[in-house]
């Protein structure tokens, strides 16, 4: 409900705004938000740290990077023309193709003229007197805008491991999310990969093809499942194009906006034979079906979860020849699907190759990185290249990187000291005129689908503000408390919330990120949209507008 807000600003005349809105980030969300705000006739500037558009797909150029969602369910859906003009060449597109796609979008909608590249935002401070945001880039340039929209990504702040000696290594080393633009050859090289999350798995299966020797340093194995990627020929693309409206309608209807949605049956409502046959079917199908389209209770019921975990463990044992290695690759501390499921293409078979070694660093921890390689508690390895696939300071990490201050100079990091608190995952009390795209507590799932909704909602709010002459939009304490409680209640009973992962805000490499938090909205995407639609239909009266 409307809270008391300061009276109309008086300093505006002497302190003109450079823009109506500043967007931080030119990834999928920032690009689309720019397009929509321009349609409202707003003066918009996007600041982007990279040299090009694409965000995640700009930065993550590591070998083997690709979609785990079907390409045609991942692209933008808002423009019929765009859907007509773009052809996907694989069911799960590789990163270079996605980056080309996003550049194509930027060209088509002439986005670059409002995007300033090589411009990292260092700070953003709310100025109450002017009801605006003062944004400073890391080169000291300053800009002011009425609204600040963060489009900074969920997994965009990469983290290096806290291992002694990282800086002493004399060979080449790369974090997967800061991969060079030039090709890196592994031919005949001794290569180390640290990390076996979704990124590590994609990297390992690619590097193993050419490396002289590949040594994988695994701390925690993950439950991986086959991607079953295929090429898309012209005929198939024509069929996909004809079905686009069905594809996107289906994404709107499913729990997490994927083409897959949970089977209504419980794991033990079928016979053991039917259960096994269903698991086999899912294991043989492309994409996230085995995770997102499995029996409805595998992520909430321990016995159901054990059944699918046991099935996948058997698959790993069948696929890996050396059973001692197979046992190391089977997760023991979490069940299937309670962490993000990496999708793979012959990942397990990599460990049957003579040039690949798996090192279990829970058994023999890495003691230090040396100038020539890696020293564990029981051996010293020499490497030409070390690849860090060690993940991100997820969800709140990119916010922490910016000195973001709201009313009375309160830092967002402080505000979220005990975990994020938001209104609909979009706004924070004390941070007027700031809207987050893919902020904490929004529905993630198939991210572009969630992005499009998020952007539409923010656009609707700004359209309303402009037409009603509103210059200050803030979440209320009640609105934030109620949404935060709701998000927390949705997390109850989810097995994934009992597990350490980026989805529960854990990162062993970042100070202060060792306690699990509820970082994501875990209800259904349709329910999320219904709630946000209702807030808009009510004239945004849950917000303080002035």
SS3 231: strand
| 447 is a contact residue toward ligand NA7 (CB under 6 A) | no
Binding window for ligand NA7 (CB under 6 A); candidates: 40-48, 78-86, 369-377, 387-395? 387-395
Is residue 54 within 8 Å of residue 156, measured between CB atoms?
A: no
Is residue 136 within 8 Å of residue 151, measured between CB atoms?
A: no
- DSSP for 118-165, written as a single string: S--EEEEEEETTTTEEEEEETTS-EEEEEEEEE---SS-SB-----TT
Residues in binding contact with ligand NA7, number by CB under 6 A: 22
Closest approach of ligand NA7 to the CB of residue 328, in Å: 13
| 173 is a contact residue toward ligand NA7 (CB under 6 A) | no
Q: Which of 391, 420, 425, 491 binds ligand NA7 (CB under 6 A)?
A: 391
In the complex with ligand NA7, which residue's Cβ is closer, 200 or 406?
A: 200
3-state secondary structure 467-485: HCCCCCEEECHHHHHHHHH
Cα Rg, the chain, nearest whole Å: 24
Q: Which of 9, 50, 161, 477 binds ligand NA7 (CB under 6 A)?
A: 161
Which 206-225 positions form the footprint of ligand NA7 (CB under 6 A)?
A: 219-220
Q: Which of 508, 514, 515, 538 binds ligand NA7 (CB under 6 A)?
A: 508
Is residue 32 within 8 Å of residue 454, measured between CB atoms?
A: no
SS3 536: helix
Closest approach of ligand NA7 to the CB of residue 433, in Å: 30
In whole angstroms, what is the distance from residue 514 CA to residue 508 CA? 6
Closest approach of ligand NA7 to the CB of residue 1, in Å: 37
Longest dimension (CA), the chain: 76
Closest approach of ligand NA7 to the CB of residue 478, in Å: 33
In the complex with ligand NA7, which residue's Cβ is closer, 55 or 432?
A: 55
Residue 337, phi-psi category: left (phi > 0), alpha (psi -120 to 50), beta (remainder): left
C-alpha distances (whole Å) from 30 to each of 25, 36, 441 are 5, 10, 18
| 115 is a contact residue toward ligand NA7 (CB under 6 A) | no
| 390 is a contact residue toward ligand NA7 (CB under 6 A) | yes
| 509 is a contact residue toward ligand NA7 (CB under 6 A) | yes
- Which residues are CB-neighbours of 416 under 8 A, at least 6 positions away? 396, 399, 440
In the complex with ligand NA7, which residue's Cβ is closer, 308 or 341?
A: 341
Q: Which of 36, 260, 328, 340 binds ligand NA7 (CB under 6 A)?
A: 340
Q: Which of 389, 404, 518, 535 binds ligand NA7 (CB under 6 A)?
A: 389
| 199 is a contact residue toward ligand NA7 (CB under 6 A) | yes
**Strands 366-369 vs 356-360: parallel, antiparallel or unpaired:** unpaired
Binding window for ligand NA7 (CB under 6 A); candidates: 43-51, 105-113, 143-151, 188-196? 188-196
In the complex with ligand NA7, which residue's Cβ is closer, 161 or 419?
A: 161
DSSP state at residue 170: -
Q: Which of 195, 406, 425, 445 binds ligand NA7 (CB under 6 A)?
A: 195
Closest approach of ligand NA7 to the CB of residue 528, in Å: 19
In the complex with ligand NA7, which residue's Cβ is closer, 69 or 77?
A: 69
Phi first, then psi: give them for residue 456, nearest 5 degrees: -60, -40
SS3 405: strand
Is residue 430 within 8 Å of residue 406, measured between CB atoms?
A: yes
In whole angstroms, what is the distance from residue 276 CA to residue 278 CA? 5
Residue nearest to ligand NA7 (CB): 197
Closest approach of ligand NA7 to the CB of residue 371, in Å: 19
Is residue 9 within 8 Å of residue 471, measured between CB atoms?
A: yes
CB count within 10 Å of CB 541 equals: 12
| 194 is a contact residue toward ligand NA7 (CB under 6 A) | yes
* Torsion on CA atoms 456, 458, 462, 464, rounded to nearest 10: 70
Closest approach of ligand NA7 to the CB of residue 38, in Å: 30
Binding window for ligand NA7 (CB under 6 A); candidates: 156-164, 265-273, 421-429, 486-494? 156-164
* Angle separating helix axes 28-39 and 95-108, nearest 10 degrees: 10
Binding window for ligand NA7 (CB under 6 A); candidates: 94-102, 112-120, 384-392, 518-526? 384-392
CB count within 10 Å of CB 63 equals: 20
Binding window for ligand NA7 (CB under 6 A); candidates: 15-23, 140-148, 154-162, 239-247? 154-162
In the complex with ligand NA7, which residue's Cβ is closer, 101 or 133?
A: 101
In the complex with ligand NA7, which residue's Cβ is closer, 217 or 540?
A: 217
Closest approach of ligand NA7 to the CB of residue 227, in Å: 13
| 502 is a contact residue toward ligand NA7 (CB under 6 A) | yes
In the complex with ligand NA7, which residue's Cβ is closer, 199 or 229?
A: 199
CA neighbours within 13 Å on the CB side: how many for 247? 19
Contact characters 360-379, ligand NA7, x per CB under 6 A: -x------------------
In whole angstroms, what is the distance from residue 23 CA to residue 42 CA? 12
| 200 is a contact residue toward ligand NA7 (CB under 6 A) | yes
Q: Which residues of the shown chain bind ligand NA7 in the complex (CB under 6 A)?
A: 155, 161-163, 194-200, 219-220, 340, 361, 389-392, 502, 508-509
């Amino acid at each position: 409900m409307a809270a008391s807000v300061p009276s109309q600003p008086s300093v505006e005349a002497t302190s003109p705004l450079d823009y109506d809105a500043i967007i931080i980030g030119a990834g999928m969300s920032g690009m689309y938000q720019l397009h929509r705000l321009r349609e409202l006739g707003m003066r918009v500037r996007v600041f982007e740290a990279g040299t090009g558009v694409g965000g995640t797909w700009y930065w993550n150029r590591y070998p083997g990077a690709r979609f785990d969602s079907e390409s045609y369910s991942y692209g933008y859906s808002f423009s019929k023309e765009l859907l007509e003009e773009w052809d996907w060449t694989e069911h799960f597109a590789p990163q270079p193709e996605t980056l080309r796609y996003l550049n194509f979008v930027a060209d088509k909608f002439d986005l670059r003229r409002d995007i300033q590249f090589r411009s990292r935002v260092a700070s953003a401070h709310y100025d109450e007197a002017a009801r605006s945001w003062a944004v400073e880039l890391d080169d000291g340039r300053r800009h002011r805008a009425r609204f600040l929209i963060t489009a900074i990504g969920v997994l965009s702040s990469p983290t290096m491991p806290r291992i002694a000696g990282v800086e002493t290594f004399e060979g080449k080393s790369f974090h997967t999310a800061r991969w060079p633009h030039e090709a890196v050859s592994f031919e005949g090289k001794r290569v180390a990969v640290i990390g076996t999350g979704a990124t590590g798995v994609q990297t390992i299966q690619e590097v193993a093809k050419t490396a002289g020797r590949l040594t994988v340093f695994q701390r925690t194995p993950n439950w991986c499942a086959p991607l079953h990627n295929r090429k898309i020929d012209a005929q198939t693309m024509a069929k996909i194009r004809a079905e686009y409206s069905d594809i996107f309608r289906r994404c709107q209807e499913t729990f997490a906006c994927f083409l897959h949605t949970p089977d209504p049956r419980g794991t033990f409502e079928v016979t053991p034979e039917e259960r096994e046959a269903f698991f086999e079917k899912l294991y043989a199908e492309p994409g996230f079906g085995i995770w997102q389209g499995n029996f409805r209770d595998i992520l909430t019921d321990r016995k159901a979860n054990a059944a699918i975990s046991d099935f996948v463990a058997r698959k790993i044992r069948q696929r890996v020849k050396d059973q001692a290695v197979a046992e190391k690759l089977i997760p023991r501390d979490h069940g299937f699907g309670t962490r993000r499921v990496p999708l793979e293409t012959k990942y397990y078979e990599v460990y049957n190759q003579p040039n690949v070694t798996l090192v279990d660093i829970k058994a023999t921890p890495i003691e230090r990185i040396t100038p020539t390689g890696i020293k564990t508690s029981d051996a010293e390895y020499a490497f030409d290249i070390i690849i860090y696939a060690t993940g991100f300071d997820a969800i709140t990490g990119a916010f922490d990187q910016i000195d973001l201050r709201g009313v009375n100079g309160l830092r967002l990091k402080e505000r979220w000291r005990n975990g994020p608190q938001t209104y609909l995952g979009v706004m924070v009390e004390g941070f007027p005129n700031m809207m987050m795209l893919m902020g904490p507590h929004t529905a993630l799932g198939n991210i572009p689908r969630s992005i499009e909704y998020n952007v539409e909602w923010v656009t609707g709010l700004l359209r309303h503000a402009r037409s009603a002459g509103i210059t200050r939009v803030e979440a209320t304490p009640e609105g934030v408390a109620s949404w935060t409680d709701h998000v927390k209640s949705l997390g109850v009973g989810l097995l994934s919330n009992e597990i350490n992962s980026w989805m529960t805000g854990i990162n062993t490499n970042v100070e202060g990120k060792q306690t699990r938090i509820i970082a994501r909205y875990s209800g259904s995407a349709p329910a999320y949209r219904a709630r946000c639609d209702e807030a808009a239909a009510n004239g945004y009266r849950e917000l303080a507008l002035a």
